[in-house]
Every structure is written in C-alpha cells, then in structure tokens.
Amino acid sequence: MASSPTDYFESFDGVRIAWRELGEGRPVVLIHGYFSDAATNWIRYGHAAKIAANGFRVIMPDLRAHGESDRPHDPAAYAPDTLTRDGHALIAHLGLTNYDLGGYSLGARTTSRMLATGATPGRVVFAGMGLDGLLHTDRRVDHFRNILTRLGEHPRGSPEWLAEAFLKTTKGDPVALLGILNTFVDTAAEDVERFVQLALVVAGEEDQDNGSAPDLAAALPDGRYVEVPGGHMSSVVKPELGQAIADFLAA
C-alpha cells in the first residue's frame, strides 16, 4: 500500500508544513519523533499500512524543521508550543472533527500539548513516552542540546552517538533542530488527569528515555499500557509497535 504524494499547507505563521496520507476511513493523525519524519517513523516499517488496513485514513505530518517541511533558522519560528499550533493548524486545514490523534516520543509530547490546548480527538496514542517526559521536558532538552552542539564528539556507541547517527540518516538540520528545543512546554499533572479520552500508552520494554510509560497509563483517566520489544531507538522499527496501535484503534 503506497502513501499519497506529499501535500503541503501554510501553518499559522506561514511556515510550510508537509504531510502524507495512507488509506481511507476514520482519520487518525500520527506525529513522528524528534530527528525523524513521517516516512521514517510511520511508513518505512509498515506501521501506517497496518493501521490503514483496518479502515483508517492515516495522516502523517512532518514537523517543522523535519522531513519535507520548512526548516527555518529564524528563532522567531520556534516559540513555545509552536509544534502544538502547527498541529491545530493541520486539523483545521483538513477540517477534521471526528478523528483520533497520537504520536511517538516528541509526537506524543505534541499530542499532549494539543490536548491541553483544546484538541478533541476521540482516542489518543502516546508511543515512546512516559509520564516524566510530559511533566518535565528539561531533561530531554539538555540531552538533545548536548548532542546538537557537540556533533562529532560523542563516544562511539553512546546514546548520544547513536542519536547523531540517526540524525545523519534523516539528513537533519542541526540549526533548525536546535530551534525545536525552544518549543518544548511541560504539561501539568492536572492537565494529564483531564485527558479523558480512551488512551493507549505503548513503549519498548527497555525504554526509560521519557520516564515510566506504565506511570503515564496509570495517570490517565482511561489509559492502558502495552509493552513492545526494544528501547527508545529500536522499538519504533519493530512490527509490534504498529500492530499495537492498529489493534487499539480497531477495537
């Protein structure tokens, strides 16, 4: 099953955002992780195809500074919650009213911010995310700022080295990606407790990069946790990840 050609729209501030679609049926918007893009996160390893096969229209944006979206270097393009506003702008551009929403890692964090600022999906997917990753973003900001400001200096095999290697495969723009770190906003615990949608929390069994995924599932009013193989960088390539999301949405 081939995805649609890339489409584009202008977000709230004129930055051009790309998105792809796969399948027909109930819309589900899936947002990729940091350093990644829609093709790598959702299409390459078959996750989108699994979901689409269950009767879904899978909508996959490239976050600004990623993939085929614009990669501005102007700091003004990276105000707090800018990715959140891009997400709302995509929903409005497509005229979606009855849809599901989710994301992996930064995509899950963006999903939480969209929920906290008024998004009303029917069901929600938090993949590669734990409770601490929503409540306290500073640790991940420091981690990625260290990676991007010391490229070529990280010990071979370290988490930083592996992240830099992944950045090279997606042809990331370090200047634009540094800007993305300024968009991060903590989600308050009381906001998480108000996310009333049926929610899937799915993460690799070795993934503690964003804190505890079971704790996130427990904090959500209607959350359920599914464990899949791998860690933060490896679970996203496992077929079990896409299957868990497909099964949840189809249930």
Distance CA 211, CA 213 (A): 7
Give the number of other Cβ atoms within 10 Å of residue 242's Cβ: 22
Per-residue pLDDT of 77-130, as tens digits, reads 999 999 999 999 999 999 999 999 999 999 999 999 999 999 999 999 999 999
What is the model's pLDDT at position 3? Answer: 65
Per-residue pLDDT of 123-142, as tens digits, reads 999 999 999 999 999 989 99
Is a pLDDT exceeding 90 seen at residue 8?
A: yes
Q: How far is C-alpha 188 from the geometric centre of its chain's CA atoms?
A: 19
What is the mean predicted confidence (pLDDT) over 204-232? 97
To the nearest 10°, report the CA torsion of 66, 69, 75, 78.
-80
Per-residue pLDDT of 36-79, as tens digits, reads 999 999 999 999 999 999 999 999 999 999 999 999 999 999 99
What's this model's pTM, rounded to 2 decimal places? 0.96
What is the model's pLDDT at position 4? Answer: 74
